[in-house]
Amino acid sequence: MEIDPVTNGNTDAVMTEPTPAISPSRPLVPSSRLSQLTESIKLEHQLLRVPFEHYKKTIRANHRSLEREVSSVVSSVGDLADNDWSKDVAVSRLTSLVSRLQGLKRKLEEGSNVENLQAQRCRARIDHLDSADVENITEWNNTKLKRILVDYMLRMSYFETASKLSESSNILDLVDIDIFREAKKVIDALKRREVASALAWCADNKTRLKKSKSKLEFQLRLQEFIELVRADSYKQAILYARKHLTPWGATHMNELQHVLATLAFKSTTECAKYKALFELQQWDVLVHQFKQEFCKLYGMTMEPLLNIYLQAGLTALKTPYSFEEGCTKEDPLSQESFRKLALPLPYSKQEHSKLVCYISKELMDTENPPQVLPNGYVYSTKALKEMADRNKGEIKCPRTGFVCNHTDLIKAYIS
């Protein structure tokens, strides 16, 4: 890893010698780097979890459908034996069962191929985590940033860029484009105010949703009911409610009553409590809720990874002085856009002083202690010595223009 990033980075009229690659004040501490690496790998839960949930889902679905088919073949044979069919019928039925079994065999084969591909993907991700070490960490972090960006784009439905970036960076195995495409179908349908695909998704994941006590399906049903009321199809609405809403009565009676009362109020109501139910924004709420359930089901974080990392990073970088000018351009917080994002965030807490020389941007420590000009401005010994050497012992404060002699400097002790 490179360890010379902070020097030389200002455009101000101040000067510095190029720093040697490894200055004595910055020792490489492999053990701390190593533990940092371990800690950062622990943040990758989503990377392993998501493809696994997908794999598990495929296994279960394949298994269920095969089981059904096999038992139906067995029971067909039972039927055949129990009924008194002619021989010809028996032969033709058996022959059709044989070809059905052949189809089943193919289906098993295909299913298993899909499963194996998904298993490979799970493994590729474990291997990717395993491949991170102190030597290749820069490259690994680059890949990580791209993964995080793809995750952001998928959640924002920027599919084209997500595919392009994953292909050009060769990280298709490390991102979940196909899984998000499944979500996109549902989201697009909800945006067109159609609940069918969302309901189908709920049915597909019934057990899991039930376990997490999700009420997404209930909310979709309520919305459908509201739409019937909006269209003045009251009779249909009542029939619909009998069929689809009553099962939720035991757990969600209040909401159920609230929504059913719209039959009395109609869609033109001015009563705020019921008017709200007819707002078209309710559909956006459904989209949001679907996204939440979707993320939960796959073990994803609710927010894009990018937002989580950016927030943590900006907070850690922010100091009470972050918005002052005159800082090195290397600080992300010297840029307008990053400042905007950081504005509402708290600044970091430090337990020890860390002083950076305004001139050389180098750390001021025992090797390069801070020195104070008579006007109270502090710079590093090295930078001041260099300035004095160049200007026959004269020191000019770059921030105030104050001029003094090299002998006027006092060393400051920072503990």
Partner 1 sequence: MELKSIKDAFDRVANKQKLSYTKTQEIIQMLSQELDKALILLQEQFDHRPILASLKKTLQENSPIVNQLEVTEKELNMALTKYPKVLEKQLSSDISKAYRHNVEFDTHVVNQIIANFFYRQGMFDVGDCFLVETGDESECSTRESFFEMHRIVEAMEKRRELGPALNWATSNSEKLKQARSDLEMKLHSLRFLEIARDQTSQEAINYARKHMAGFADSSLYEIQKLICSLLWSRNLEHSPYSDLLAPSRWNDAVRELTRQYCNLLGESSESALSTTVSAGTQALPVLLKYMNVMVAASKKLDWQSVEQLPVAVELSEEFQFRSVFVCPVSKEQASDENPPMMMSCGHVLCKQTINKMSKNGARSSFKCPYCPTDVDISRCRQLHF
Site for partner 1 in 81-120 (CB under 8 A): 81-82, 84, 87, 90-91, 94-95, 97-98, 101-102, 104-105, 108, 112, 115, 119
Q: Which two tokens stand for residue 328?
A: 């090195």
Say whether 185 sits in a helix, a strand or coil: helix
Q: Pick the stretch among 153-161, 236-244, 246-254, 262-270 that binds partner 1 (CB under 8 A).
A: 153-161
Position 269, amino acid: T
| Count of other CB atoms within 10 angstroms of residue 301 | 14
Number of chain residues interacting with partner 1 (CB under 8 A): 143
404 binds partner 1 (CB under 8 A): no
**Which parts of 160-219 interact with partner 1 (CB under 8 A)?**
160-161, 164-165, 168
**Which parts of 343-402 interact with partner 1 (CB under 8 A)?**
344-356, 358, 361, 363, 370, 372, 376-378, 399
Of the two residues 112 and 405, which places its CB atom closer to partner 1 in the complex?
112
Given 54, 121, 122, 293, the residue binding partner 1 (CB under 8 A): 122
Q: Any idea how long the chain is?
A: 415
Please calculate the CA angle 283-289-294 and round it to the nearest 5 degrees: 125
**Which parts of 34-73 interact with partner 1 (CB under 8 A)?**
36-46, 48-49, 52-53, 55-56, 59-60, 63, 66, 70, 73
**Smallest separation (angstroms) from partner 1 to the CB of 3:** 7
**Smallest separation (angstroms) from partner 1 to the CB of 177:** 14
Helices 196-204 and 177-191, packing angle to 10 deg: 140
Closest CA to 332 of 318, 349, 353: 318
**Which parts of 295-314 interact with partner 1 (CB under 8 A)?**
299, 301-303, 305-314
Given 19, 65, 126, 367, the residue binding partner 1 (CB under 8 A): 126
DSSP string, 281-314: HHHHHHHHHHHHHHHHHHT--SS-HHHHHHHHHH
**Smallest separation (angstroms) from partner 1 to the CB of 28:** 11
Burial class (CB in 10 A: 0-12, 13-18, 19+), 332: middle
DSSP 175: S
Of the two residues 59 and 404, which places its CB atom closer to partner 1 in the complex?
59
8 binds partner 1 (CB under 8 A): yes
Please state, in angstroms and rounded to a whole number, the distance separating the CA atoms of residues 83 and 87: 11
Of the two residues 251 and 400, which places its CB atom closer to partner 1 in the complex?
400
Of the two residues 257 and 375, which places its CB atom closer to partner 1 in the complex?
375
Strands 363-364 and 370-372: unpaired
Of the two residues 105 and 193, which places its CB atom closer to partner 1 in the complex?
105
5 binds partner 1 (CB under 8 A): yes
**Smallest separation (angstroms) from partner 1 to the CB of 384:** 14
Given 61, 117, 145, 271, the residue binding partner 1 (CB under 8 A): 145
Helices 281-298 and 196-204, packing angle to 10 deg: 20
Q: Pick the stretch among 8-16, 204-212, 234-242, 281-289 that binds partner 1 (CB under 8 A).
A: 8-16
Residue 314 near residue 341, CB atoms below 8 Å: yes
| Count of other CB atoms within 10 angstroms of residue 31 | 7
Q: Pick the stretch among 215-223, 264-272, 275-283, 405-413 that binds partner 1 (CB under 8 A).
A: 405-413
**Smallest separation (angstroms) from partner 1 to the CB of 334:** 8
**Which parts of 248-267 interact with partner 1 (CB under 8 A)?**
none
**Smallest separation (angstroms) from partner 1 to the CB of 252:** 25
Of the two residues 2 and 270, which places its CB atom closer to partner 1 in the complex?
2
**Smallest separation (angstroms) from partner 1 to the CB of 205:** 15
Given 179, 202, 327, 384, the residue binding partner 1 (CB under 8 A): 327
Closest CA to 360 of 10, 27, 24, 2: 10
**Smallest separation (angstroms) from partner 1 to the CB of 17:** 8
Q: Which long-range contacts (CB under 8 A, 24 or more apart) does 173-176 make?
A: 173/121, 173/124, 173/125, 173/128, 174/47, 174/124, 174/125, 174/128, 174/143, 174/147, 175/147, 175/150, 175/151, 176/50, 176/51, 176/54, 176/151, 176/298
Q: How far apart are the first and last CA of the chain?
A: 29
